[in-house]
C-alpha cells in the first residue's frame, strides 16, 4: 500500500469481483458434474418477511446460474420450532443435500440459536454453528461466514494477496461479521483492533488503520475524520434511510466524505452485498468437499477395522 492518496477513492466493485467468484464456482461445478457429483443447497424460509423473500430469491437465482442444485422449503409464520427442527433433521440426514441455509430472521416464537445449532456443522454454509465458529478461531478448515469471507476477497483483490503487517480496524463485534472478520484478518497476518460501543475515542483508533471494515449498523457513522489518508474501507453496513426522493440505502460509512481521504472504498449498494451470495455458493462447494472427505475417512476406518 502506498501513502499517496488520489483526489477521490476508487470504488471496489463488488459486482465485478463477485462475478469472478461465481465463475470460479461454475467451473468447479462443471468439473464435479464430470465425476457425477452434483452439489445441492437447501434453503429454508419461515414466515412472510418481504426482505427475506427477496434475499432467498436472489440466492436461488445465483445458485441456478452456477449450476448448483437448489431446494427451497417454505414454512408458514405459524410453524412451530419443532417443525423447523424436524425439517432440519431430515436435511441433515439426506446425503444428497450438501448445504443447509435457514434464512434469518425467524419468527419471534422460534429460538434462532437452537435452529442454527441443529444444523450439521459440515452442512452449515452460513458458518454460524458453534463448531464452525470455534474451528475458525483455532485455524481449522471449516465453513466460514459468507460476508467476512467475501470481504477478505475484496481486500486481496484491492491490496494484493499478502496483507501481512497491515493494521486493520474492525468496527463492530457481532458474531456474524465483526468477530469472524477480525479472526480472518489475524489469519492473514494483519495487526487487528476491534472497535465497539465501549471503545474510547473510536475515531482516533480508526485513524491508525490501513484497513477499516465497518459493520456496526449505524448509518453513515464513519466519515473522513475517522480515516488515515490512503486507507482501504470495506463498508458492510446496509441501512435504509429517508430522503427527499424517498428511501435510499446507505452504509455505515459516509461515502461522499470518506472517499475524499480513502484510497479505495466499497459503495453501498454494489460492494459487499454481492460477495455474500457468491461466498454462500462457494461454501456449498466447500461443504460438498468436506463431506466427501469425511465419508472417505469413515470408509477407510471401516476398512481398517475389517482388516483387524
Check the annotation: does 100 bind a ligand: no
Q: Residue 224 burial (CB < 10 Å; 0-12/13-18/19+)?
A: middle
Output b/e per residue, 89-102; b: 16+ Cβ within 10 A: eebeeeeebbbbbb
Q: Is 201 helix (H, G, I), strand (E, B) or coil?
A: coil
Q: Are 264 and 233 in contact (CB under 8 A)?
A: yes
Distance CA 182, CA 148 (A): 9
Check the annotation: does 238 bind a ligand: yes
Q: 223 an active-site residue?
A: no
Angle between helices 50-66 and 14-33 (to 10 degrees): 50
Q: What are phi and psi of 155, to 5 degrees?
A: -65, -40
User: Cis omega before residue 102 (within 30°)?
Assistant: no
Helix ranges restricted to H, the chain: 14-33, 50-66, 81-93, 112-116, 130-138, 146-159, 178-187, 202-206, 255-258, 273-307
Q: 300 an active-site residue?
A: no
Check the annotation: does 34 bind a ligand: no
Distance CA 248, CA 155 (A): 26
Give the active site residue among 103, 123, 210, 291.
Answer: 103
Helix ranges restricted to H, 193-245: 202-206
Check the annotation: does 174 bind a ligand: yes
Neighbouring C-alpha atoms within 13 Å toward the C-beta of 305: 6
Give the active site residue among 59, 123, 179, 282.
Answer: 59
Q: What string of DSSP letters covers 10-48?
A: EE--HHHHHHHHHHHHHHHHHHHHTTT---EEEEEEES-
Give the active site residue among 123, 124, 126, 179.
Answer: 126
Q: What are phi and psi of 7, to 5 degrees?
A: -55, -40
Q: 126 an active-site residue?
A: yes
Residue numbers belonging to the annotated binding site for NADP(+): 172-174, 238
Q: Which residues are catalytic?
A: 59, 103, 126
Residue numbers belonging to the annotated binding site: 172-174, 238
Amino acid at each position: 500500500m502506498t501513502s499517496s492518496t488520489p483526489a477521490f477513492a476508487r470504488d471496489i466493485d463488488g459486482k465485478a469481483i463477485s462475478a469472478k467468484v461465481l465463475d470460479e464456482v461454475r467451473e468447479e461445478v462443471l468439473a464435479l458434474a464430470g465425476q457425477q457429483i452434483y452439489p445441492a443447497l437447501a434453503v429454508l424460509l419461515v414466515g412472510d418477511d418481504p426482505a427475506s423473500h427477496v434475499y432467498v430469491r436472489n440466492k436461488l437465482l445465483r445458485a441456478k446460474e452456477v449450476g448448483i442444485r437448489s431446494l427451497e422449503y417454505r414454512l408458514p409464520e405459524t410453524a412451530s420450532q419443532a417443525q423447523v427442527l424436524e425439517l432440519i433433521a431430515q436435511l441433515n440426514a439426506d446425503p444428497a443435500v450438501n448445504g443447509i441455509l435457514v434464512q434469518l430472521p425467524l419468527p419471534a416464537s422460534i429460538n434462532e440459536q437452537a435452529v442454527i445449532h441443529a444444523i450439521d456443522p459440515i452442512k452449515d454454509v452460513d458458518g454460524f454453528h458453534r463448531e464452525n465458529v470455534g474451528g475458525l478461531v483455532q485455524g481449522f478448515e471449516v465453513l466460514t461466514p459468507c460476508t467476512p469471507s467475501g470481504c477478505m476477497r475484496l481486500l486481496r483483490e484491492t491490496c494484493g494477496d499478502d496483507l501481512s503487517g497491515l493494521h486493520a480496524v474492525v468496527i463492530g463485534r457481532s458474531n456474524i461479521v465483526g468477530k469472524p472478520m477480525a479472526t480472518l484478518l489475524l489469519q492473514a497476518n494483519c495487526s487487528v483492533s476491534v472497535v465497539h460501543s465501549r471503545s474510547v475515542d473510536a475515531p482516533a483508533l480508526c485513524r491508525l488503520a490501513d484497513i477499516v471494515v465497518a459493520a456496526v449498523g449505524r448509518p453513515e457513522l464513519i466519515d473522513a475524520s475517522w480515516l488515515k489518508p490512503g486507507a482501504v474501507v470495506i463498508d458492510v453496513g446496509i441501512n435504509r434511510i429517508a430522503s427527499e426522493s424517498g428511501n435510499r440505502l446507505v452504509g455505515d460509512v459516509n461515502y461522499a466524505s470518506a472517499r475524499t481521504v480513502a484510497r479505495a472504498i466499497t459503495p453501498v449498494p454494489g460492494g459487499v452485498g454481492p460477495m455474500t451470495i457468491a461466498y454462500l455458493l462457494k461454501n456449498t462447494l466447500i461443504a460438498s468437499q468436506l463431506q466427501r472427505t469425511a465419508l472417505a475417512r469413515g470408509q477407510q476406518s471401516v476398512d481398517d477395522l475389517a482388516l483387524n
